[in-house]
Chains A and B, each alone.
Chain A
Amino acid sequence: DQQVKQNSPSLSVQEGRISILNCDYTNSMFDYFLWYKKYPAEGPTFLISISSIKDKNEDGRFTVFLNKSAKHLSLHIVPSQPGDSAVYFCAASASITSNYKLTFGKGTLLTVNP
């Protein structure tokens, strides 16, 4: 039972355009969401997070949107740069149960073409 789903295994965009990465979840207890970026042979790097009390969080070129009613979040990268090419993981946790245990999606490979 996959509680966090990233339905697009890959995404390709042109440099300068917007990249939109999507994530859906099924567990209504999830209230904290994170995005991680991973290069080959490296560990995931924390990018941005959002608490369920918000619907948007922005940090430079990265914005995360949360739609609780749809159990959907998305990561927007604008403008996209070739260095953004990596695998992006969505993760979630539930503070009422075990706020430390992250549940991850399978990742989306983003390729930004020059």
Chain B
Amino acid sequence: GAGVSQSPSNKVTEKGKDVELRCDPISGHTALYWYRQSLGQGLEFLIYFQGNSAPDKSGLPSDRFSAERTGGSVSTLTIQRTQQEDSAVYLCASSLAMGGNNQPQHFGDGTRLSIL
């Protein structure tokens, strides 16, 4: 399909290891977002990319979290020195450029991250 693609779908790792999560947005969508959903919670905004503009990193919970978007398409979310509280489902979304009009965000199926 032509939806948002995320990999891996599941990741189990030991505390202290680094992990990389990948997101491939819908073709033509210039805006890309990362959220996470902890157990029993709503989605929590992490970071936003729009075209060549500087990303909005205001939702990243600590400096162990970083993200990049190369070539304006694929994005990678990296968590260094993982902690058990990082266990969550990490969701990526993309949307058309805002252009002053609200555009719905379309989500991938997420990466379920479990830190042992």
Contacts and interface: CB of A to CB of B under 8 A. Distances in A.
Interface stretch (B12-20, B61-69, B73-81, B104-112): B104-112
Interface in B80-116: 91, 93, 95, 98, 102, 104-110
A105 B35 CA distance: 13
B31 interface: yes
Indicate the size class of the contact surface on chain A.
20 to 34
B40 interface: yes
> By DSSP majority rule, is chain A's interface helix, strand, loop, or mixed?
strand
A55 to B, nearest CB: 16
Contact of B102 (A44, A89, A95): A95
Contacts of A95: 102
Indicate the size class of the contact surface on chain B.
20 to 34
Nearest to A91: B43
A99 interface: yes
27 contacts: A34-B104, A36-B107, A42-B109, A43-B4, A43-B91, A43-B93, A43-B108, A43-B109, A43-B110, A46-B106, A49-B102, A49-B104, A89-B43, A99-B98, A100-B33, A100-B50, A101-B45, A101-B56, A102-B33, A102-B35, A102-B43, A102-B105, A104-B43, A105-B42, A106-B40, A106-B42, A107-B42
Interface of A: 4, 32, 34, 36, 41-46, 49, 51, 89, 91, 93, 95, 98-107
